[in-house]
Structure 1
């Protein structure tokens, strides 16, 4: 089976930001995405920037093809600036966590469409449980033969991205003890979770052919890996991150993902052999980052060396500084340290819950407020 990777001559960016809809009064999830789309369509600068998702409680805001982090964030700001007043009129707020702290999955409604109905028919209980939201970042790559080596090498930074973005500690009214419950929920779906570490594009083609032949998937878009190639776009799509509520957090994470992919690709193009962790270390790092967040101790090389993820992150940011200068995102990449200093979303949510005697409505209030404050 041949899959053509439509290579991108520039390291362009595209961002997809999933947001939940919550009722302004009850703070529970609200299934009125269709009403929001209908009311917003006449006022949006580009209606194509807002997409429906699996459940009616979700909207996805996307950018066009961007060249810098600042351009991508400004694109998202423009769409949300038009969308929020419409949501206000409908009594809705936008919520940027990886999970909702107390919503019941049994009360959520499926978006109409054959693709979604088939997914739920196959996945049943696990599919219906997917009250999760994330951020996906596409980075353009110029050469098909380097896509899989870059993907495999990017997995060494998986726990850094997971820990920084973790925003799903509370599920169904209970603190799970995990920084990112979303990470472990999502991998229950078939074809979701960590990617296989193929060395060549032809290995990926062979895998995809097997998946299609055996009916595991009906199209490449159903391969729901945490990091996956988007051949039709010429990008590597990073789907590691939990939902994000602060615009400055989003900016920092997008810059980090942009720099990581471009740095790895340029090193591979120069003939460097990229560092790749054994799959068992990658899997363990994912669990540790989901469990402990920014306090995770992760495996950083094939010799089983371990470091605190934030210590390793500091060295990573130093290494990426020249790439950030080339990509015009020096300030955004530097702000990753600010994210660590103020605490990731899972930490902030827990602080709010503790300050309000476990009141989870207050947690939703805080996440909603962070998004609004960041949009000015």
Structure 2
């Protein structure tokens, strides 16, 4: 099977942001995404070009255009948030939140978006599929040539724990404190083509992999390969999907800048004849689990020799080493904000603090997430 990889301008960036709709009075997920999308149609009835549905009707997905800078992509998303919020304010009883999971809503109360691909997914995956009450951010970075896709993907796997820990925001599941910083990470990988990618030698190997799955009825096309990091041939990008949903535009900007800089630096290394370091798959898998379990307190494996280090310390050094790349790409301020994110703690920690301060009332966590999406994280507070 031939899969053509579109040509993109190097290191251009696009971001997808999945937002949950909640009832203001109860904090429960609200299945009104279809109503919101209908309100956003153009006067001639055409759907909104960049605000779309997702698996469940409690969700809307915002899709930025292609931008040269992180700031441009994030401003694009913020404009779309304002559009959705204006609709919700007219409806009068709903709000927006973003985190890897909802603190307490139940899967059996949610409604599936009426699209054939979603019905097929749920028919195949049943209970696991119905439990996919998860939200994330996806970051696309442009590659000029498809031959770069798999080497960059392999190199990016070393940074799965950094991105997982930094974005971790799903400590609760269906009303239970799970003990995981990112329960979403482990839930999502239950789907047959989700989770970490397989080691593949070259683009032809990737084409054979997709062909195998299509011939055996696992998928219909390559877009149904839902790896944590994957090539996106249609757009000519490497797509990083490992992150939990985050509740502020500032956090999205920091994470996107980190991803953009890492990819760009790897392209430079490949151009210089250097292959980005690739860790053993068992180390990559262990790192993902550690980051999902412990978040910013994870001790991760940093090289093929098995060196271990606190993920936050490694992130701070990473920001320093990527600073020249960030200057060139125009995202120096956004990359520098990762330092503040490390100091303030990821969303899972803020959610746990709010829950414990409210004697376990998880409605307070939903209110906290809604405030953060509106106002950002209050500096130095660890809360909103």
Range moving further from structure 2, 331-340 or 315-324:
315-324
Counterpart of 2:289 in structure 1 is 287
The residue aligned with 2:381 is none
CA-based RMSD of the aligned residues comes to 1.5
Distance in 2 separating the partners of 1:135 and 1:9? 22
**1:133 & 1:265 partners in 2: Cα distance?**
29
CA deviations over 1:192-215 (Å, ceiling 9, x no partner)? 000112231111111111111111
Structure 2 partner of 1:161 = 163
Q: Does 1:215 align with 2:217?
A: yes
Mapped partners of 2:316, 2:270: distance in 1: 23
Matches for 1:1-376 after TM superposition, within 5 Å: 1-42=1-42, 47-90=48-91, 91-374=93-376
CA contact (8 A) 1:103 1:172 kept: yes
Gap regions ≥5 residues in structure 1 = none
Q: CA deviation at 1:80?
A: 1.1
Q: How far, CA to CA, are the matches of 1:374 and 1:288 in structure 2?
A: 27
Q: Secondary structure at the match of 2:17?
A: strand
C-alpha contact (below 8 Å) 1:149/1:198 kept by paired residues? no
Shift of 1:38: 1.2
**8 A contact 1:7–1:234 mirrored in 2:** yes
| CA-CA distance at 1:9 after TM superposition | 2.9
- The secondary structure found in structure 1 opposite 2:260 is helix
Runs (4 or more) in structure 1 with deviation over 4 Å come to none
Deviation string for 1:253-289 (max 9, x for gaps)? 1111111111111111111121000000000000000
* Residue in structure 1 matched with residue 380 of structure 2 by the alignment: none
In structure 2, distance between residues paired with 1:273 and 1:49: 36
8 Å Cα contact 1:168/1:346 also seen in 2:
yes
* Aligned counterparts of 2:272 and 2:87: Cα–Cα separation in 1: 50
Deviation, 1:187, is 0.1
Q: Deviations over 1:301-323 (max 9, x none)?
A: 11111111111112211121111
Structure 2 gap ranges (5+): 378-384
TM-score, normalising length: structure 1: 0.97
